[in-house]
Amino acid sequence: MEKKTISRDGTPIAYEVSGEGPAVILVTGAMATGASDAPLASLLSDRFGAVVYDRRGRGESGDTQPFDVAREVEDIAALIEATGDGSAALYGMSSGAALVLEAAASGLPVGKVAVYEPPFAVYEGDEKQRAEYTERLTQLLAQDRRGDAVELFIALTGAPPEVIRGMRHSAVWPALEAVAPTLAYDNAVMGDGLVPRKRLASVPVPVLALAGGASPEWMREAARATAEAAPDGTYRVLDGQTHMVDPGVLAPALAEFFAAEGTS
């Protein structure tokens, strides 16, 4: 990352900006650093100042304790101040989607918010699975069993055991273990795991909730429910896409939304 800004609690947040124009801050999901959004930022850079950053506890950013979701919102506020002309648009992926929605609801100077497949629970009983995951994740991280914590999270996403076993022996596994403590941060951002309808009702800006046409039905339903709970929400499906969305398909949808009249 080329630059750093200082969040309210003194934590350095590393970021980069691609292109010029209205600021669009890209927020990653669990286990990812800002580098994972670089391809998307590049595709947006011809029309926007696309900002990628390492969320706290990842990459080149700091990790001041104790953690609170409000600290991550303050990180976004610091990025808006550093890169925006008084405000910015936000895009969040997966649990990063929950974070940008919280940032908008908290009153940050945000013009528009786009999210891709926020993993909120929509079916009866899903919240129980989230509670069990939270309890087990807390235990594993308290014991510094980072590899097991990563495995727990990957299993939650639906990956079969044989895939997880293969990942544990892959070159990427040490990097995943390095950011394992931040799984607790993403889990906190998700709250009880249910669609936060009351909180979403207080989001004062347009919201675009995207999902992949080839993703599991519950992911599409979560995106739809997010759009329906926001006062000015739109739901859109990207045909043929999964949770691993193609930046080349995603970027035009985001550009259209952010460039439309009313974008800050």
Find the mean pLDDT for residues 167-185: 96
Beta bridge partners of 52: 16, 26
CA distance 262 to 55: 28
pLDDT at 119 over 90: yes
* Burial class of residue 144 (count of CB atoms within 10 Å of its CB; 0-12, 13-18, 19+): exposed
pLDDT for position 126 = 79
Angle at CA of residue 147, ends 53 and 159, nearest 5°: 80
pLDDT at 263 over 50: no
pLDDT for position 109 = 97
pLDDT class for 124, splitting at 50, 70, 90? confident
Model's pTM, two decimal places?
A: 0.96
Find the mean pLDDT for residues 54-65: 97
Phi/psi for 209 (5° steps) reads -110, 115
pLDDT for position 125 = 77
Residue 80 contacts residue 37 (beta carbons within 8 Å): no
pLDDT at 36 over 50: yes
pLDDT class for 160, splitting at 50, 70, 90? very high
Nearest to 102 by CA among 75, 67, 131: 75
Q: Could you tell me how many residues make up the chain? A: 264
Beta bridge partners of 235: 209
Residue 213 contacts residue 240 (beta carbons within 8 Å): yes
Q: What is the number of alpha carbons within 13 Å of residue 153 lying toward its C-beta? A: 28
Lowest mean pLDDT: which of 49-53, 84-88, 124-128? 124-128
pLDDT at 262 over 60: no
142 or 126: whose pLDDT is higher?
142
pLDDT for position 147 = 97
Find the mean pLDDT for residues 114-122: 96
pLDDT at 105 over 60: yes
Could you say which DSSP state residue 5 is in?
E
CA distance 189 to 182: 11
pLDDT for position 123 = 79
DSSP one-letter string for 21-66: SSEEEEE--TT--GGGGHHHHHHHTTTSEEEEE--TTSTTS--PSS
2 three-state secondary structure: coil
In the structure encoding, which two tokens stand for residue 205, read together?
């800006």
Q: Tell me the average pLDDT of the chain.
A: 95
pLDDT for position 242 = 96
pLDDT class for 264, splitting at 50, 70, 90? very low
pLDDT for position 217 = 95
Angle at CA of residue 31, ends 30 and 36, nearest 5°: 95
Tell me the per-residue pLDDT of 42-58, one tens digit each, with 9 for 90 and over. 999 999 999 999 999 99
